[in-house]
Amino acid sequence: MSKDIGVGVLGYSIGRVHAHAWRNVSEVYYPLKLVPKLVAVSGRTKEVVDFETKKYGYTRSYSDWEKVVNDPEVQIVDNCLPVSLHPEPMIMAAKLGKSLFCEKPLARRASDAKRMLDAAEKAKVQHMVGYNYRFMPAITLARNMIAGGALGEVILFKGSYLTTNSGYDSPETTMRWQFDSEMSGYGALSDLGTHALDLARYLVGEVAAVAGAQATYIPERPVVGDPKKKGKVNVDDLTVASMKFANGALGTLDTSWLNPGRMDYLTFEVYGRKGAVRFSLERINELEVFLTEKDPGSSGFRTLNVLAKEHPYMKQYWPNQGGGFGWDHSFVNEFHHYLTSLAEHKPVGPQGATFLDGYRNCLIMDAIAESALKEKWVGVPQ
Ligand SMILES: NC(=O)c1ccc[n+]([C@@H]2O[C@H](COP(=O)([O-])OP(=O)(O)OC[C@H]3O[C@@H](n4cnc5c(N)ncnc54)[C@H](O)[C@@H]3O)[C@@H](O)[C@H]2O)c1
Task: Report pLDDT for 227.
Answer: 80
- Ligand 1 in reach of 81 Cβ (< 6 A): yes
Residue 257: phi and psi, rounded to 5, are -100, 0
CA 375 to chain centre: 28
Q: How confident is the model at residue 102 (pLDDT cuts 50, 70, 90)?
A: very high
- Ligand 1 in reach of 13 Cβ (< 6 A): yes
The model's pLDDT over 224-246, given as tens digits with 9 standing for 90+, comes to 999 889 999 999 999 999 999 99
Residue of 13, 329, 335 to test ligand 1 pocket, by largest number of atoms within 8 Å of CB: 13
Measured in Å, residue 242 CA sits from the centre of ligand 1 at 29
Task: Report pLDDT for 218.
Answer: 98
Residue of 80, 112, 180 to test ligand 1 pocket, by largest number of atoms within 8 Å of CB: 80
Closest residue (by CA) to atom 28 of ligand 1? 82
pLDDT(60) > 80: yes
Task: Report pLDDT for 36.
Answer: 98
CA 275 to chain centre: 27
- Ligand 1 in reach of 74 Cβ (< 6 A): no
- Ligand 1 in reach of 104 Cβ (< 6 A): yes
Inter-residue contact 268 to 309 (CB < 8 Å): no
Inter-residue contact 205 to 168 (CB < 8 Å): no
Strands 3-10 and 34-42, how do they pair? parallel
Number of the ligand 1 atom closest to the C-alpha atom of 81: 24
Give the CATH class of 135-326+356-374.
alpha beta
pLDDT(318) > 90: no
Q: What is the 3-state secondary structure (H, E, C) of 149-195?
A: CCCCCEEEEEEEEECCHHHCCCCCCCCCHHHCHHHHCCCHHHHHHHH
Measured in Å, residue 213 CA sits from the centre of ligand 1 at 26
Inter-residue contact 170 to 329 (CB < 8 Å): no
Judge if 3-132 and 135-326+356-374 fold alike in CATH terms: no
Number of the ligand 1 atom closest to the C-alpha atom of 13: 16
Task: Report pLDDT for 320.
Answer: 72
Measured in Å, residue 376 CA sits from the centre of ligand 1 at 33
User: Per CATH, the architecture of 3-132 is what?
Assistant: 3-Layer(aba) Sandwich (3.40)
- Ligand 1 in reach of 12 Cβ (< 6 A): yes
Q: How confident is the model at residue 377 (pLDDT cuts 50, 70, 90)?
A: very high
Task: Report pLDDT for 245.
Answer: 98
Residue of 269, 287, 152 lying closest to 199 (CA atoms)? 269
Task: Report pLDDT for 27.
Answer: 96
Residue spans of the domains in the chain: they are: 3-132, 135-326+356-374
- Ligand 1 in reach of 132 Cβ (< 6 A): yes
Inter-residue contact 378 to 209 (CB < 8 Å): yes
Residue 63: phi and psi, rounded to 5, are -90, -25
Residues 6+ apart with CB under 8 A from 58: 9, 19, 38, 39, 40, 41, 52
Residues 6+ apart with CB under 8 A from 225: none
Measured in Å, residue 186 CA sits from the centre of ligand 1 at 15
- Ligand 1 in reach of 14 Cβ (< 6 A): yes
User: Which residues on adjacent β-strands are paired with residue 232?
Assistant: 220
Measured in Å, residue 82 CA sits from the centre of ligand 1 at 4
- Ligand 1 in reach of 193 Cβ (< 6 A): no
Task: Report pLDDT for 207.
Answer: 98
- Ligand 1 in reach of 130 Cβ (< 6 A): yes
Q: How far apart are CA 29 and CA 336, in angstroms?
A: 7
Task: Report pLDDT for 324.
Answer: 77
E strands along the chain, which residues?
3-10, 34-42, 60-62, 76-79, 99-102, 127-129, 154-162, 207-215, 220-223, 226-232, 238-245, 250-256, 265-272, 275-280, 286-291, 302-305, 378-379
Backbone Cα Rg of the chain: 21
- Ligand 1 in reach of 349 Cβ (< 6 A): no
- Ligand 1 in reach of 80 Cβ (< 6 A): yes
pLDDT(323) > 90: no
Number of the ligand 1 atom closest to the C-alpha atom of 12: 39
The model's pLDDT over 131-178, given as tens digits with 9 standing for 90+, comes to 999 999 999 999 999 999 999 999 999 999 999 988 999 999 999 999
- Ligand 1 in reach of 371 Cβ (< 6 A): no
